[in-house]
Amino acid sequence: MNITMINLINFAFKKAKFLIVILLAFTFVSCEGTASSKHTTNIPNTIDITMSKNEILEQALTIIDIPSNIDENIELPVSLDVNGHLVNATWHSTASKVIDNTGKITPNVADKNAVLTVTLEYEGETLNKSYDIIVNGNEAFLVIYAVFNSLIEMPTEPIIDNLTLPTEYNLDGKIVEASWVSSDSTSLTNTGIVTLKDYPMFINLTLELTYMGITQSKTYSFFVAQDPDTLPVNLLHLSPIYTGTIEDESPKPGTPSCFPGAIYRKVVSSKDYWLGIEGTITLPEFIPDEERYDVTRPTYYLDNSSIYMGGHAYYESDVGLSWMIGHTDGTSAQISESGVAFRPFWRYITTQEDCANNNCWKNANVSDHEFYYYPGDKVQMSVFSPRPGYMQMRIELISLTTNQKYINKRTEYGLEEDFNRIFVTPEFSSPGIGELKSEFKRVNAIDQSANEGKPTLNTNAKVVDAIWHEVYLYREINGITYKVPMTEERTASMMCPIGTNVNGDFSDTFTINYDGVDKLLGGEIVNINPNNGDGTLYNLTYFLEKKEEYI
């Protein structure tokens, strides 16, 4: 082989080596490019340098993956990393009750639609995109909904007794688990055990129902009642009697002016920090004037007897017993034409209720025959503040009349031997009572129909032997509530009308004595007998002042 041939072979070999190197280099670059394409959230530095802000935002969108159908909460990113570039994301839902801006869903029985819109922001540039979402429904919600609305009964009044709190409910063979959580386990445990305290307790009771992996909860609110034994209505009349000196007690009050239109004996206390008044009274016999009647009026007779109490801070109240019409017997719905018994009433002024001229008048249900009281019945009547700004009346029948006429009358109503002997009104508004210095009163009256504020009319109606055995004022002294005798030293008394008026002479109307009662405990016997009747039914001329100034 000559030199030329050898040189030729060497040249060819070198060329081949060069081509092999070039081929290998090309292959390496190709492989590197293929590896780079596998990264979906990062862009190569060589490409990144050339990306615009909008391209970065477009690239960020490719990272977000939102399913169109969901059964559970999803995570909505608030920032995205595009190869070191931080893109901010904010979300908005068109139906936050279906899915909110954080991706939390509220499943329901049926499928629910919503649209999630993301706003991407990078260095002042923004890009939006919307995603249609279906939150899939679940039959379990229908089952739980049905349990909540058909099987759960919560108290509507303050509770005293234990509650039954099931741990599961059966709805047409479907077992739904239940768990309860009380906001105050010292008053109501999670198992329904009630502990009464000397004050009412507001409770939030949360019920959580679970069925087929779905859990829903609902909170019920109500009161655990105050221990009845600690309520003023059940406690004040049991208070001890206090006859000592009261520090800084208000002085004896002046005598108020008479208000025309009725015949009445009134004893009113000083204005002090009294909490109420209590009196034990044997009810009197009321004998109407047979000439003073009007058949066109529902009460027939124009004179009427009442025994009542009341308190006054800002406004006056009249609360007690009045000789009223009622059922003629226990089996008939027929209402009598004239009074048949003393029945409870309460009259008060308030702007909190829809009453004519803010003057509310209420009385015991006419069908509650156990609260028909008769001459000769001995009752304990108290009017007091159960809480600031309110008053309440309690009447307890201590002993039944021995007057055969009224024994027979009570029998006509068919009461059982153990009939209820305690009447209690609801609490009613009395601004200032229990907070401010207040005065309390007791009154025996012959009221005259349609004559309030007018000159008292002559009458032969009379009230015989209203016996106040004891009368007390309630007061807290050194942290203890006492009964303080309502004596002359802390009261003013009135007998109205005084002397004569345009209609007649009332000078000898009242007889007051203390036979068999203790004057030092507020005792007094009242008889009212004007004995000046002339058959006059109504005043022909009069001047009527506003009742609010007096009541």
Cα torsion for 347, 349, 351, 357, to the nearest 10°?
90
**Secondary structure class of 243 (helix, strand, coil):** coil
**Secondary structure class of 318 (helix, strand, coil):** strand
Cα separations in angstroms, 54 against 47, 64, 89, 313: 14, 16, 14, 77
User: Six-digit token pair at 548?
Assistant: 């609010």
Contact yes or no for 192/162 (Cβ under 8 A): yes
Q: How many CB atoms lie within 10 A of CB 286?
A: 22
Residues in contact with 460: Cβ distance below 8 Å, sequence separation at least 6, in sequence order: 289, 290, 291, 292, 530, 531, 532, 533
Please give the chain's pLDDT, 551 residues, in tens: 444 444 444 544 454 444 444 444 444 434 444 333 333 334 444 445 678 999 999 999 999 999 999 988 999 999 999 999 999 999 999 999 999 999 999 888 889 999 999 999 999 999 999 999 999 888 898 999 999 999 999 999 999 999 999 999 999 999 999 999 999 999 999 999 999 998 899 999 999 999 998 899 999 999 999 999 888 999 999 999 999 999 999 999 999 999 999 999 999 999 999 999 999 999 999 999 999 999 888 778 999 999 999 999 999 999 999 999 999 999 989 999 899 999 999 999 999 899 999 999 999 999 999 999 999 999 999 999 999 999 999 999 999 999 999 999 999 999 998 999 999 999 999 999 999 999 999 999 999 999 999 999 999 999 999 999 999 999 999 999 999 999 999 999 999 999 999 999 999 999 999 999 999 999 999 999 999 999 999 997 554 444 443 33
CA distance from start to end of the chain = 147
Contact yes or no for 393/344 (Cβ under 8 A): yes
Residues linked to residue 181 through DSSP beta bridges, in sequence order: 206
Its pTM stands at 0.68
Helices (H), 370-414: 404-411
